[in-house]
Amino acid sequence: MRTSECDIVIVGVGGQGVILISDVIGRAGVMAGKPVRGAETHGMAQRGGSVINHTRIGCRFSPMVASGGADVLIALEPAEALRFAHFLSPNGVALINTMPVLPVTVTTGAARYPPLDEILAPFEGLCRRAVPMDATAIAKKAGTAQAMNVVMLGALARYIPLKEELILEALCDVVPPKFLDANKKAFSLGKAEVE
Amino acid sequence: MREYLLGNAAIARGLLEAGVGLAAGYPGTPSSEIIETLVDLKGDRPLHVEWSVNEKVALEVAAGASWTGIRAAATMKHVGLNVAADPFMTLAYLGVGAGLLVICADDPFCHSSQNEQDSRRYAQFASIPCLDPSDPEEAKDMTIYGFELSEKFNIPVMLRPTTRVSHARADVETGTIPPVRVGGQFVKNPARRVALPVHARALHTELIAKQKAIEEALETAPWNKLTLRGNVGIIASGIAGLYAEEAIRDLDLEVSLLRIGTYPVPAKMICSMLEHVTRVMVVEELEPVVEEQVERLARIVNPAVEILGKNESISREGELDFLRVRNAIALMQGIQEKAALPNTAAGILPPRPPALCPGCSHRATFYAMRKVFGKKAVYPSDIGCYTMAVGMGTVDTCLCMGASITLASGIRFGGETEGICCSLGDSTFLHGGMTGLLNAAYNKARITVTILDNSTTAMTGHQPHPGTGVTATGEPTVQVSLEALARALGAGLVEVVDPYDLEKTLECFQRAKEYPGLSVVIARQPCVIKARRSGARPRAFRVSEECQGCGICVDFGCPAIEFEGDKAKINNLCTGCGVCAEICPGSSIQEVKR
């Protein structure tokens, strides 16, 4: 029996803006009158490490999505997409930013960063649809590479049971006014990537 | 109205709705955002919010305010309660004025901690009631209830969220915020405020006597919920109650469920459950606190009942989650497990451990330290961002806040003859390092103490401390000098150095190494994250064609340096500290003049 209307897992590297995405959709969920649960990574892992956020819309139970239960996996970095791919439901959708952030294990030569096609290949059998996109380049088109997470949010909007107006309203509550125009543009460019 | 709140923000909101007049804490994951949110929300309210020097101080300050008739709270992480254990144990005897809440956030799985101790044991140890929320809304409501309970029974109350409550988010119903009670006054009452043996004995009798009444009051608290359905039962506490409810829904089972949110546990409800079922599973994170009580009560009301828990499929270490609890219940019921999917494909990925930031001055300090003291020297270290430098060979120990200096002293007194250079951060030094330095001076420890002074409490999110000259609420205050403190505590040689200046830092460590007594090196450079936020404009560096590809700069370990082909390259993470340019033997890393 389903215990949540929509389970979303958001992953990336500390500092990429994972929390903003979960905060916006969580707020939008509450505006829609739905119970929302979420779990965040704070503290030590934030210093350049892998981070994972869980957001469950229409849920009154655990704040964490179970392995194999995510309706959407949204990854701000390709290696992190694969690292957390086991969260995807076979019916799920993976939205993947293709711009790598090299971990210090790679820059110091201790480990190898695999080519993008090797990272993306396993998603074929894992989920219903995997959408790779260069969200960083798209964000630059919108005016600032910083809005990469909002490009991904725009793509995510299509796959979650929340009205776009509410997501945009929540975005306005969270983003400083001077960056709002660039962020709205980033949102619509991200949305266009999955249409 | 319903707001989407972080658990810690919900607790802060609860403190305001309870009319708290004072909140004091020391930063520590997962508790830090409680004080931070209070600072954001307090506005003009005459509410005293402070970052205290450590958790013992925070609890004592809160107790003092409570004794003036003002509701007060102290916030800390679980290991902080070890520091505050001294006042905690005796406050149970002395009692409160207005309500006193000890908010102690546990970290099962050590997400950001050196251990995963279970604070419910402390509450039990001190005979202090404990509230164990399962989600942010309960955490907020329990905060308010905790003050009422504290006042009703004249005893401090512990609120014990875990990481998955403090750092969860949920829709929370927020209420109105009453005016803050101000103008408290201390009422003299030696029999209740002076823990002389003659008073303490009587107060201990009183503390034991009130336990029964506390237990009866908690029995009817809304946090304990009993549903009798089948002849198999589940008793689950705190967040495990939520996992159990979800598992029962997922498995579509007819089982009895008792959710527990208070300690002492609701004994009558447990007995009703035990009389109703033939088999019961106790689901709780970490220690078998509830399970022990269930076993005790079963001996009285139903010795035949089968009790499952820590001896079976509920782990005593780490976190529980929905899937673990679901599978434990499924196993008990003979239902197929739902295995966590293996992620074999991820085997090709490079690990991404948390690391010191690009341009972090700790890396530069450790580099120079290691160069001077050498491979054989002993490097006791401490709790902070710098513990992540364990791969640099300059972190040989990490025990608890401030223990670098005292462990170094003991290692020397134990007979170690190699160089000993320990390290700890500025906030850690002020929290728990000062007494150790005093002890090292007094007992003549020949060691070098390095204070990694980035002028903030970086790891927990950049909180101010007495060395920063700013209070929690952003007011200017006295800026305590670390060098003057170190001298006053008896260090013979005290030097301040900028770790970005490699040559001077090497010379400074050399003098400290040669000094025939207790030497202190203060390596001072603001945290790069803070410097960036304050708008510092970095210098730019590039690698010239002359690069020989020797790899010395890459071994330094800064994420801003990578190899492209057979030459080094500075990537866009560079913060312009310039230390790599000083390290490069061929001077091939050069500043780009603008």
pLDDT digits (tens, 9 = 90+) for B19-42: 999 999 999 999 999 999 999 999
Closest listed residue to residue B115, CA positions, set B258, B317, B263, B310? B317
Q: Please give the ipTM for the structure prediction.
A: 0.95
Residue B356 maps to a domain:
no
Chain B neighbors of A29, CB-CB under 8 A = 4, 171
> Which of B1, B2, B4 should we substitute to test contact with A (largest number of A Cβ atoms within 10 Å)?
B4
Residue B461 maps to a domain:
yes
Q: CB-based contacts of A26: which residues, under 8 Å, 6+ apart?
A: A36, A38, A55, B4, B169
Q: Are residues B526 and B564 in the same domain?
A: no
Chain A neighbors of B246, CB-CB under 8 A = 3, 61-62
pLDDT digits (tens, 9 = 90+) for B94-111: 999 999 999 999 999 999
Closest listed residue to residue B444, CA positions, set B369, B518, B360? B518
Q: Are residues B31 and B99 in the same domain?
A: yes
Q: Do B323 and A66 lie within an 8 Å CB cutoff?
A: yes
- Kindly compute the dihedral angle of the four CA atoms of residues B481, B484, B488, B491, in this order, to the nearest 10 degrees: 110
Chains A–B, number of C-beta pairs less than 8 Å apart: 179
Could you say which of B188, B217, B246 is where a domain stops?
Answer: B217
Q: Are residues B269 and B411 in the same domain?
A: no
Residue with tokens 């997400």: B111
Burial code (b: 16+ CB inside 10 Å, e: under 16) for B335-356 equals eeebeebebebbebbbebbbbb
Residue B341 maps to a domain:
no
- What is the mean pLDDT of the segment spanning B184-206? 97
Structure tokens at B140: 């907020």
pLDDT greater than 70 at residue A129: yes
- What is the mean pLDDT of the segment spanning B274-278? 97
Chain A neighbors of B551, CB-CB under 8 A = 109
| Residue B252 contacts A, CB cutoff 8 Å | yes
Q: Do A112 and B354 lie within an 8 Å CB cutoff?
A: no
Q: CB-based contacts of B183: which residues, under 8 Å, 6+ apart?
A: none
Residue type, B10: A
Measured between alpha carbons, how far is residue B251 from residues A1, A36, A94 in Å?
7, 22, 27
- What is the mean pLDDT of the segment spanning B485-503? 98
Rounded-to-integer distance, Cα A93 and Cα A112, Å:
27
Burial code (b: 16+ CB inside 10 Å, e: under 16) for B27-49 equals bbbbbbbbbbbbbebbeebebbb
pLDDT greater than 80 at residue A46: no
pLDDT digits (tens, 9 = 90+) for B136-182: 999 999 999 999 999 999 999 999 999 999 999 999 999 999 999 88
pLDDT digits (tens, 9 = 90+) for A51-108: 999 999 999 999 999 999 999 999 999 999 999 999 999 999 999 999 999 888 888 8
pLDDT greater than 90 at residue A45: no
Residue B343 maps to a domain:
no
Structure tokens at A4: 């949540």
pLDDT at B402: 98
Q: Which domains does chain A have, with CATH numbers?
A: 4-193 (3.40.920.10)
Among B171, B249, B354, whose Cβ lies nearest the Cβ of A45? Answer: B354
Residue B432 Cα, gap to closest chain A Cα (Å) = 20
Residue B190 maps to a domain:
yes
Alpha carbon B217 to its chain centroid, in Å, reads 31
Residue B354 maps to a domain:
no
Residue with tokens 């975005």: A171
Q: Are residues B67 and B209 in the same domain?
A: yes
| Residue B153 contacts A, CB cutoff 8 Å | no
pLDDT at B589: 96
Q: Are residues B277 and B128 in the same domain?
A: no
Phi, psi of B167 (to 5 degrees): -110, 25
| Residue B342 contacts A, CB cutoff 8 Å | yes
pLDDT greater than 80 at residue A47: no
- CATH code where residue B441 lies: 3.40.50.970
Q: Are residues B24 and B153 in the same domain?
A: yes
pLDDT greater than 90 at residue B344: no
Question: Which chain B residue is nearest to residue A35, measuring alpha carbons?
Answer: B171
Q: Are residues B437 and B505 in the same domain?
A: yes
Question: Which chain A residue is nearest to residue B319, measuring alpha carbons?
Answer: A64
Residue B309 Cα, gap to closest chain A Cα (Å) = 20
- What is the mean pLDDT of the segment spanning A156-178? 95
CB B541 within 8 A of CB B589: yes
- CATH code where residue B585 lies: 3.30.70.20
The proportion of chain A whose per-residue pLDDT surpasses 70, expressed as a percent, equals 98
Number of domains in chain B: 4
Residue B348 maps to a domain:
no
pLDDT greater than 90 at residue A109: no
Residue B553 Cα, gap to closest chain A Cα (Å) = 9
Q: How confident is the model at residue B564 (pLDDT cuts 50, 70, 90)?
A: confident
Q: Do A105 and B250 lie within an 8 Å CB cutoff?
A: no
- Mean pLDDT for chain B? 96
Check residue B584 and report its DSSP letter: -
pLDDT digits (tens, 9 = 90+) for B220-270: 999 999 999 999 999 999 999 999 999 999 999 999 999 999 999 999 999
CB A193 within 8 A of CB A158: no
Could you say which of B492, B518, B533 is where a domain stops?
Answer: B533
Q: In the sheet that B2-6 helps form, which strands lie side by side, from edge to edge?
A: A129-133, A88-97, A70-75, A4-13, A50-59, A36-39, B168-173, B2-6
Rounded-to-integer distance, Cα B349 and Cα B505, Å:
37
Beta-sheet strands, E only, within B202-241: 225-227, 232-237
- CATH code where residue B246 lies: 3.40.50.920
Q: Are residues B368 and B463 in the same domain?
A: yes
Q: Do A37 and B135 lie within an 8 Å CB cutoff?
A: yes
- What is the mean pLDDT of the segment spanning B531-550? 88
Quickly list DSSP for chain A.
Answer: ---EEEEEEEEEETTS-HHHHHHHHHHHHHHTT--EEEE---GGGGTTSEEEEEEEEEE-S-SSPPTT-EEEEEESSHHHHHHTGGGEEEEEEEEEE------HHHHTTSS-PPPHHHHHTTHHHHSSEEEEE-HHHHHHHHT-GGGHHHHHHHHHHTTSSS-HHHHHHHHHHHS-GGGHHHHHHHHHHHHHHT-
- What is the mean pLDDT of the segment spanning B325-345? 88
pLDDT greater than 70 at residue B117: yes
Structure tokens at B50: 């402070």
pLDDT at A44: 66
- What is the mean pLDDT of the segment spanning B74-99? 98
Q: Are residues B63 and B211 in the same domain?
A: yes
Rounded-to-integer distance, Cα B68 and Cα B64, Å:
7
Could you say which of B217, B237, B259 is where a domain stops?
Answer: B217
pLDDT at B536: 77
Residue B338 maps to a domain:
no
Q: CB-based contacts of A140: which residues, under 8 Å, 6+ apart?
A: none
Q: Is B5 left (phi over 0), alpha (psi -120 to 50) or beta?
A: beta
Q: Is B491 left (phi over 0), alpha (psi -120 to 50) or beta?
A: beta
The tally of CA atoms less than 13 A away on the side-chain side of residue B417 is: 0
Residues listed for chain B: 594
Residue A115 Cα, gap to closest chain B Cα (Å) = 10
Among A37, A86, A108, whose Cβ lies nearest the Cβ of B170? Answer: A37
Chain B neighbors of A78, CB-CB under 8 A = none
Q: Are residues B69 and B111 in the same domain?
A: yes
pLDDT at B588: 96
Rounded-to-integer distance, Cα B387 and Cα B425, Å:
10
Among B111, B252, B321, whose Cβ lies nearest the Cβ of A62? Answer: B321
Q: Are residues B301 and B241 in the same domain?
A: yes
pLDDT digits (tens, 9 = 90+) for A26-39: 999 999 999 999 99
Chain B neighbors of A40, CB-CB under 8 A = 6, 167-169
What stretches of B443-559 show up as alpha helix (H) in DSSP? 482-488, 502-514, 528-533, 552-555
Q: Are residues B204 and B138 in the same domain?
A: yes
The whole domain housing B97 covers 2-217
